[in-house]
Structure 1
């Protein structure tokens, strides 16, 4: 039985259940993983390329130097935007008590990245004492990694959620707040209140957030800035670039020019 298979066992079913199992992936085609859940917690990200991650509570666009934490038994789906190099650290359920209880995006520290890279090279069935210590370092780094804010929280109300999913799929839709409320069989006031209470964003701000995330996905796939801007409903490229820089702190052309081949750190503005 492999180390990863043993992580799926109940914590008391195997005395030598590993604390952490790390993996690396290199894929030249688009990767699509349908919604699923597993017993271990999982931290995963891309060292090259861009990932979109969906959970029951929100959506993330994950540039390099960031990663998404998925606690045990949480449903999630993953899609890459073009070829990518990725990595993941699976954490035994009994070791997840000190880790975030809800899915979230984390800023990956240099120590965490290097520790996972070292652990991904373990090929034997039993961890040696120094490997157990390194596995604990990985758990500690996940626990203390700073949060990053590049998510699209989803409302819980069924009617508002239906509207949010439609807008996330078609962020260029120009229908007004009133038109969306009518489409969702709810009042404008209720729709506005649900978005603020359940996502933390007003309806207009949430829609802009959805557009920025879609823009990042399309830019990562190599589409020209002009095409993306016009397709997302901006009257001119300058307005789109100004909005992008106001939200993320950099222009679209510089977004993927961060340290170590990744994107720059993302602030709380989005």
Structure 2
């Protein structure tokens, strides 16, 4: 993996088309990335973070990452010399933080004093914001990598771990142990997270909620709505930009 050092000198607004990608890079400063609309996938060495419009991701200085848009996306980015957090983290963006992000990125001619005060407000909000479990961890064991690739290609795949294990050449008990050791999730937890990540992509592309539930392998639309609400804080029917 080749990582480019990109120089950021201030807030940016970057429109991205559906599936447009920003390849692997890092920064010498801390970065907050917030999609004002659309959905961002943020890849780091830990795995894939999914960032919908009511969320933001904190990326510490020096952490290699890549972005991919799902649906037309407007990516807002702020930079900070001081650290709000020590690890990549997806955070809830409340009304005050959203307005601070919007003001800092919309108004490049703010006085240095005004900008400094707004950045301090943003840091205060970030340190208090709720962190969310929106990471889909990436395994390293080749058998687990292959299994995860199979499920990513078809999130609605209902086969149990035992049957999937036969395809990748590993016993169910071995794979179950590896999932916990390498991702921190059980296999059912990891698969549920994958399905919800995939659901965001389909919703961003304009698919109806009932179709998304089927395509992501949920047993019913109501089960999908409840799982989505618990993770993202909003029902899929009220998902931003629908």
Residue of 81, 87, 91 corresponding to 1:102 = 87
Shift of 1:5: 4.0
> For residues 117 and 188 of structure 1, do their structure 2 counterparts lie closer, same or farther at Cα, with a shift above 3 Å needed?
same
1:164-243 correspondence to structure 2 within 5 Å? 164-233=148-217, 239-243=219-223
- Partner residue of 1:248? 228
- Partner residue of 1:120? 105
> C-alpha deviations, 1:61-107, integer Å up to 9, x for none?
22211011111122222121221222111223xx22xx322211001
What's the secondary structure of 1:186's corresponding residue?
A: coil
Contact kept in structure 1, 2:8 and 2:79, CA below 8 Å? no
Shift of 1:252: 3.1
- Answering whether residue 63 of structure 2 is matched by residue 74 of structure 1, we say yes
What's the secondary structure of 1:82's corresponding residue?
A: strand
Contact kept in structure 1, 2:213 and 2:224, CA below 8 Å? no
Matched residues in 2 for 1:134 and 1:226: separation? 42
Shift of 1:110: 2.3
> For residues 159 and 102 of structure 1, do their structure 2 counterparts lie closer, same or farther at Cα, with a shift above 3 Å needed?
farther
- Bigger Cα Rg: 1
- Partner residue of 1:36? 25
- Partner residue of 1:148? 132
Contact kept in structure 2, 1:38 and 1:73, CA below 8 Å? yes
> For residues 172 and 36 of structure 1, do their structure 2 counterparts lie closer, same or farther at Cα, with a shift above 3 Å needed?
farther
Cα RMSD (Å): 2.8
Q: Which runs of 5+ in 1 are unaligned?
A: 8-20, 263-270
Higher strand proportion (structure 1 or 2): 2
Deviates further, 161-170 or 49-58:
161-170
TM-score (norm 2): 0.81
What's the secondary structure of 2:170's corresponding residue?
A: coil
